[in-house]
Every structure is written in structure tokens, then in C-alpha cells.
Amino acid sequence: MADKDRFDAPDPLLPWSGVRKRWHNGGLGELADTLDRKFTQLAACRDADQIDGVLYWLEALNEEDPVCALAVVDCLNGLLSRVGPEGLGRWILTGLRMYPGEQTRQRAYFRLEDPHAVAALHGEVVAGDLALSLPSLGLLLNGLAGVMLQLQPRHQTALNGLPLRPVLAPDHLLLPDDYTALDGHDRYSIYRAAVAHAVAHLRYSTPGLPSQTLKPMGIAMVSAIEDARVERLLVRDYPGVQGWFLEFLKRGVKPHGLDFSALLGRMNLALMDVHYQDDNYWVNKARRLFEAQAVDLHNYAEFRRLASILANDLGQMRVPFRAQRYVVPEAYRDDNSFLWDFNDANAPPPEPLKLQVQGPVQKQQESAQAPPPPDDPSGELPATETELGRYTYPEWDRRLSLLRADWCTVIEKLPVWQGRATIQAHEKAGVTDIPIVPLFRSRHLSRTRRLRRQWEGDDIDLNAAIEVMVDQRMDLSPDPRLFMRAGSEEQASSILVLLDLSESTNDCVGTRMESILDVEKKAALLLAQSVMLSDDRIAVHGFSSNTRAEVSYYRLLEFGAPLDANATKMIRSMSGRYSTRMGAALRHATTCLAHERTDHRAILLITDGAPSDVDVYEPQYLIEDARAAVHEGRRSGVQTFCVALDPQADPYVRNIFGWNNYRIVDEPSSLSGQLSTLYARLTVR
């Protein structure tokens, strides 16, 4: 029986064989060979599941930085003698979150040269494990809530993902397994505070309220005030839990931070700790309004109104809010999904928050259910964007000096407003009328060049002569145009205007309080109408990204297509969302230009910031990839020029596009005039 069990048991090294092959094929032979020797020892004392867990974290770290992965492999035996695969993963997460984007310090951490690395490892040993804590936490949860709920772990699936938060539902509570030494030295204390906070919502909150007119910043603000309200109620009934909350409210506060998360963290501590002093006017206003209403903690409507006032103040203060990068500041508080129903479009709308900044776009499903805008005559919108095709492109990894093949997926999409009824009302109102600025046209003057395949001339066209000889041997009638001569002819250009459609373009700028994206679209439409008066060809495309697996690409105006009312409407209707993976978009735009048979081909990129994406923490990584994409396009005969609506853009745009291939626009209202000048420069040769 024992022999049979050994025969049926899975081979512990089986998962490693596939990883070893991938690493060797990817040029990581040193890392693969080093780990190969380690796994021979691991197989003797670890089962297949444990080895699979170790491989998962090493593969994930290898994608971030192979040097860090090699450092972990070198000391793997010592690390696993202290912690298991789950503890190893949390220790890796600690290093990446402690030094985001700081490659040198990360490598020192994983080599155990950083004292914080040793401290984090010791902390991981004594911090406790979620699986061991679940039984006692379940008793605590069911006892305080008075109902039976299931406790389940929530697993982190990406090294570069945002820190997880608990998720509360009417019948269960999910607790993250990625709490690190940065969140607290005793994970059981975090779990205990998370359970108490969930109980406060179950006892005193109304779940599933409609979100309808609330913008993302408003939802976050109302949720934070509701968190404070229900915690106050729970502390009133169970005074001892206040210490559970205060430990982590104090730990996460940034006393001098002025971004949205920092201000929210300062406010949350002020609403729980009467001894906390803060010098920020907005934080003190929040405390004053909250305490004035705290005499009646059960009056949800008044606290909702209070949150509306505070959110409006943040809008007036121009505090940016990035929905894609936001997590609840306190590690123990849930993600607030328990409070909201984002799919209920028929419920009565709550009081709208009239913020002064345009917030990021909601999820696609939400926007699809929103009522049509007043200028839409049909009132019908497709539920989702239509996918037209998928294309894979490489990406340059500066850390490996390696072009990763098929690394990014570009998805061509049809915008949700494409195909709607023609906008006759807009035509009558003159919405599509755009003032046309005459373009500088001396660039189109004829130039002397060698004209091939002529009836007569000063020299023989060798290519034509070779074709004549081939045709004669094949008994075909040859083309008698064998000569070359000096002559002149008009030269045409193809310009692809590529718009950055990332979420940050929703920010308002200038005295007219227009969004950056509106400025981009107006300038692109003006340039398109002006170019169409010439012999040149122009297209307008746009892009945004949500990790390397989803780089959305929109062909808003194609080469040769008329700029009619529908095309204008489609360009105007585009909204900003997600991030800016510039390299993949430039590679796809270069591919689109490859089909243009004109003398000059160029991409004119309009952006408001450096390349970025939610799955990349190192700022220089995507900058170097975009730089590589520009060089690839140049080798294909495509020139790339950038217009940056960012006064601080000089360092990164110079690195990406070169000294003479960019322009920084400090005043957004001048963008249209700047594009006309740049167009002249792009097409002159």
C-alpha cells in the first residue's frame, strides 16, 4: 500500500519543469539553473502544493524584476526555514510596497541587505496566519452580529495589485490574505478590527443603496462618513472596540498628506480620536460638522448631506481623485461594496453632489444604464462597446534589456455612440461648424527628384530594365518606359492624430474650466478640417489602457473618410478612463500607418502626462518602452511627434521622442494653433 501511495502521489518537481522551460526560453537560464539546484533539496521536504506556491511567487517576482527573483532564490532555503509559501509571498509583497518604483532599494531588500527586510521576515514569523485565526474570528463575528455569517479568505493574485480590503456581504465576510508588516505587526488585530467594523455595518447600515448620480469621489466620501457613523454607534454599545479601531487609524494616518486618501485618513482619525489635533481646515470642518450631528447618530440622511458638503469642498479645492488607484485608507475597513447597488437604475436618485471637477468614468455597465444625454434624439445606446479585433505587440523590458514578445494586447473597439441616429439637431444648431485656420502650405511646393519609369530621359531606370528582361524571357509584352529624368511632383503626407483618452484627461484646466480631453478633441477636429482642404490625408485615433491585457484603441476618423456630422459626434463623445500604456498604442498606430502609400507618414500624439498603467509601479519602465516604440516606428519610416499638455513633461518626453520631436503646451487654449504649426513641421522634408 505504501508503494502504491508513493506511486500515486504527484511529482513535487512536475510544476517546476514547465517554469524552467519558460525561463530558459526567455533568456533567464541563470535563474532557472540556480533554482533547479534548490528544488532538488526542496522536493525532499516539501509537497507539490507547497512547491507550486513557491513557484507562483517567484514567477510573479520574476516578471517585476529578475534580479530580485534571483536574490530570493539564492536565500530560498533560509527563507523557507522561517516561513511557508504564504509567508514568503507576504514578505515579497512587503518589499514591493515598501519601496514602490525604487529598484535599488528593492534589490537590497531581497538580498537581505536592508534591515527592514530582516525585520519584516521576523514579523512574518510571529504575525499569525489567517487560516489559524478563522475559528475564533467566526465566533466573534457571529456573537457581535447576532447572525450566522461565513468567514472566508480573499486571495491576492498579483504582486503589483492594489492592497486588498475586506468584502462584506449579507451572508459572508471575505478577509484578505495579503496583510503585510506595513499594515500591522499582529495580523490577528487587523482581522479583529475588520470583524468589528463589519458588525457595525450589519447592525446599523442600510445595504444596497442606489449610487445613481454620485460620482466616484462622492461615493468614497459618503462611504467614509458612513464608516465613521457606524463605528461610533458600535463604540457606544461596546466601548472596548474603540481601541481596536484606533490602533490602525493612527497607524495609517499621514499628518501632512494633501491627496484624497491622505485627507480622508486624517479625517477618519479626527472623527474617532478626540485627542487628535490637525492643522488642516477641511479636516477640522469635517470634525465640527460631524460632532454637531453626532447627537443623533441614527439620522443617516443628515450624515449623507454632511458628506455632500465635504465632497463639494474637495472639488473646490481641486483635490484629484483617481478611482482606478483608490483603496480605502484603513487596512481593516471593507471596500464599501456592501453599501451600494451600482445596477439599480430605477431607484429614486439621492441628492446629487455638484462637484467642480469631472470625476472618472464609472464602470462600463453603469454608464450603459445611465439615461441618454439630452442632445441624443434616439435615446438608444448599445450596452457595451463592440470589439473589432485583438492584436498582440511586444513590450520593451528595460530591466532585462529584452523585448518581451506578444506581451500586450491591443483591442480595437467601436465606441458606444457609434451607429446612433444622425444628429440632425446638431447640424441645425451649427454644432459641427468649426472655424478653419489656414495651414502653412509652402511645404507642398514641388521638389526636384528623380522620376522613374519615363518614356524618355537622361539615364536608365535599372529596376524597369530588369523587369523588361524578365518579361522578354517569359514571352510577355514589356513596358517600354525604361528611363529616369529629373523632374518634380507634389508630395503628400499621412498624419495620424493619436489622442490620449486616459482618466486623467477628465481634469479641468484653464479659465474656462474645460477638461483636457475636450481641449484635445477640439484641436483634433480643427486640424482634421484644415488638413482636408489639402492633398494630405489625416486620421484621428484614441487609446487608453487597463493593464497590458487590455489596451483599448478607437479608430475615430479613418484616412480618406469625410469629417461629417457622425464622425464629429463620435470624436466629441469619447470620454477619458483608465491609464496610458503609450508604447502599445504607438506600435498599433504605426501598423495602421503602414498601409498608407504617401511620401511622408507621421504620428502626432496628444497627451497630458507620462506613460502609466495600474500593473506597472516603476515609472521609468513604460517610458523606456514608449521610447523603444518610437524608434521602431522610425525604422519603419514613421516619424512620431508629441504634444504634451503638462508643464512638467520635459524630462520624459525628451527621453521618449528626442530633442526636436516634442512640444510642451503650457496654455491649453493655444493647442489648436500649436497643432497647425506642428503639422507644417511634420510634413516638411
Sequence-ordered list of residues with C-beta below 8 angstroms from that of 685, at least 6 positions apart, any chain: 443, 491, 599, 600
**607 dihedral zone (left: phi>0; alpha: psi -120 to 50; beta):** beta
pLDDT digits (tens, 9 = 90+) for 599-610: 788 999 999 888
- In this predicted structure, what is the pLDDT of residue 543? 95
Judge contact between 193 and 247, C-beta under 8 A. yes
- In this predicted structure, what is the pLDDT of residue 427? 39
Q: CATH class for domain 424-434+492-683?
A: alpha beta
Interaxial angle between packed helices 85-98 and 115-126, expressed in degrees from 0 to 180 and rounded to the nearest 10: 140
- In this predicted structure, what is the pLDDT of residue 232? 93
- In this predicted structure, what is the pLDDT of residue 383? 47
Residue 134 has which C-alpha cell? 478563522
Site of grid cell 502626432: 604
- From residue 106, how far is each of 73, 325, 379, 456 by CA, in Å? 15, 22, 53, 70
Taking the chain (685 residues) in runs of 10, the rounded mean pLDDT of each run is: 44 57 63 67 64 78 81 81 81 85 86 87 75 82 80 78 86 85 83 91 89 83 93 91 90 85 92 90 92 91 91 83 84 90 53 37 36 38 71 88 89 70 37 45 50 77 83 78 70 87 81 78 86 85 92 92 86 88 94 84 89 82 93 90 86 87 78 69 57
- In this predicted structure, what is the pLDDT of residue 357? 35
**Strands of 447-454's sheet, edge to edge?**
447-454, 483-489, 459-460
* Cα separation, 40 vs 417, whole angstroms: 58
- From residue 322, how far is each of 201, 203, 367, 612 by CA, in Å? 26, 31, 17, 13
* Cα separation, 284 vs 156, whole angstroms: 36
Cα dihedral 235, 240, 242, 247 in deg (nearest 10): -160
- In this predicted structure, what is the pLDDT of residue 25? 62
* Cα separation, 602 vs 608, whole angstroms: 20
Judge contact between 493 and 534, C-beta under 8 A. no
Judge contact between 249 and 272, C-beta under 8 A. yes
pLDDT digits (tens, 9 = 90+) for 577-631: 888 999 999 999 999 998 888 778 899 999 988 898 888 877 788 999 999 999 9
Handedness of CA 503, 504, 505, 506 (dihedral sign): positive
User: Any idea where the domains of the chain sit in the sequence?
Assistant: 9-126, 130-357, 424-434+492-683, 448-489
